Structure 1
Amino acid sequence: MYVILGASGHIGSVVIDALRASGEKVIAVAHSADKAAAIARDGIEPVVADVTDTGQLRSILQKGRRAFLLNPPADIKGDTNAGELKTASSIAAALEGSGLEKLVLVSTYGALDGAGIGDLSVLYEFERLVKATGIPVAINRGAYYFTNLDMLLQPAKETGRLLTPFPEDMKIPMVSPRDLGEAAAARLRSPSEDIGIDHVEGPERYSFADVAKAFSSRLGRPVRAETIPRERFEEYYLGLGFSWAAARCYAKMAEVTIDTGFEMPTRRHWGRTTLDQHLEALQENQ
């Protein structure tokens, strides 16, 4: 039996579909009754749980043999750093006494020790807390999600501009959540010895100039990428609806990523989904 956190999300739903296709039984953890009802079908036991309720989550994990861990994103209108550290700590604490034989954890490219650096520091801490439990853990560090681009498509259609903190010509590893889900499902089923850090990215890297070109093709109008000056990073995130606390973390994350660049890891899993394929599916579902 596999326990899947974030079962109704972009990644968790793919993990469930892949396991179910292999005939595996799944406990699917969702945060609301509506989400749980939507994923209920043969071979899937939906469970509603609050991951900050450590005792409740432990009782669910104890029913499984292996588990997929994903730290849910906090509301951008609040303090994302504090909220995500809280859920990470609760999930890790729930693993104590769970009896699980193996874990698969989704993290991010560039995860590093620190504070207030958005996903980079939060997910590094999540990795550290989970490894400290002593349960064998396979960590999949994912590249920049294609879904981060979804909210930018409509503004690009309206204005012909694609605003980004990144230099327009900076090549960025990007990945489809579908590829992340399939990679996670494969490691959930792999031998217990398959642990440690792998990196997951798509078949090619893209700059935001490449993204603008893809947007232009999809929208049927010219779109140009424009790099936001560093002194306006926080203002940019505030304009997207982030709180001051969240905007500061995300601005710092962008700064660190630009300054350090993207690693070329030796252990890498290549996904199959291209940017054009992601955008095509996005438009079909709108």
Structure 2
Amino acid sequence: MDGTDVEVFAKKSSDAIKSAIKASSTIKRLLVLSVIAAQNDHGIGVLRLNHLTDKFLASAADEVTIVRPCLFYHMWADAVRTAKQDSPNFVSTIHPTDWRVPMVSVRDLGEWSAKQLLDDSKHPPLQTLKFYGPRLVSPNDVKRDLETIVGKEVSMTTISLEKQAEFWAELVPQEYVQDFVEYQTCQLPGGVAVPDFVYDEHTVRANTELLDELRELAR
């Protein structure tokens, strides 16, 4: 977050990767970790970096797989910590509380990615896949599972649409606030990412449940 133009940064990073692949005689397969909705060139905030990187790297190797998760269960690590305090609570930027979004385990993604890179089967020149957990997850689901883990009621505060800018202003430099607001709201009702929430033939469905991941984070 040093003010570098996102397109300049994306191209510079992608060119370095393409140069390394070209210089190698053994790299034939590339897996690009992207993100949901990165096929869009607007309405996605900071995810524009992924949009550009996906475009620049689409032909960087003989076989390119672009994998697009949405959110990771690990984002609730701080919620696990605060749920274990004397006054159990957590904050969610997902609003309303019953809104479900795709989430997944980082471990599941890592294991799948390793298999994709190492298997002997022939892959298409370019494939784009979504990578989600076994079911969509809402803040209410997180609250329920946290209460299961700590054995008592946990209070939840959600950041409404009107409060998103104020929330992100405490975390990122002012010039990036709107990009982060747009990133967050693209996953909320009416956002450009929402059509991608469906499980279809281009979706890899991982196995780890939210509760299992939260239990590990609580250890």
Q: TM-score range with shorter-chain normalisation?
A: 0.7 to 0.9
Choose from 109, 117, 123 the match for 1:193.
Answer: 123
Of 199, 207, 214, the residue aligned with 1:272 is 207
Q: 1:120 aligns with which of 34, 40, 47?
A: 47
TM-score, normalization by structure 2: 0.80
Compute the RMSD of aligned alpha carbons: 2.7
Provide the rounded CA distance (Å) in 1 between the counterparts of 2:107 and 2:5: 26
Distance 2:5 2:187 in 1: 17
Code of the residue aligned with 1:253 in structure 2: it is Y
CA deviation string 1:90-140 (max 9, x = no partner): 334433443421111211122133268345321121111111435320122
Worse-matched range after superposition: 119-128 or 168-177:
119-128
For 1:246 and 1:81, the matched residues in 2 are separated by: 11
Q: Which has the higher contact order (CA 8 A, sep 6+)?
A: 2
Q: d(CA) in 2 for partners of 1:92 and 1:235?
A: 39
Q: Which residue of 1 aligns with 2:149?
A: 218
Give 1:142's match in structure 2, choosing from 60, 69, 82: 69
Aligned length, in residue pairs:
207
* Shift in Å, 1:242: 2.2
Residue 88 of structure 1 deviates from its aligned partner by 4.3
Which residue of the partner structure matches residue 95 of structure 1?
Answer: 21
The answer for unaligned runs of 5 or more in structure 2 is none
Structure ranking higher in strand proportion: 1
Q: Secondary structure at the match of 1:168?
A: coil
Distance 1:155 1:245 in 2: 29
DSSP 3-state at the match of 2:102: strand
Give the 5 Å matches for 1:70-89.
Answer: 78=2, 82=6, 85=10, 87-89=13-15
1:107 aligns with 2:34: yes
Counterpart position of 2:175: 245
Q: Residue type of the partner of 2:174?
A: W
Tell me which residue corresponds to 1:208.
139
Under a length normalisation based on structure 1, what TM-score does the superposition of the two structures give? 0.63
Aligned to 1:13: none
Which one-letter code corresponds to 1:251 in the other structure?
V
1:161-180 matches, within 5 Å, as 161-180=90-109
| Structure 1 residues without counterparts, runs of 5 or longer | 1-76
- Percent identical pairs in the alignment equals 22
Aligned to 1:281: 216
Q: What is residue 111 of structure 2 aligned with on the other side?
A: 182
**Distance in 2, Cα, partners of 1:124 & 1:114:** 7
**Alpha-carbon spacing, 1:115–1:135, altered in 2? closer, same or farther (3 Å):** farther
**Contact between 1:78 and 1:245, CA under 8 Å: does it hold in 2?**
no
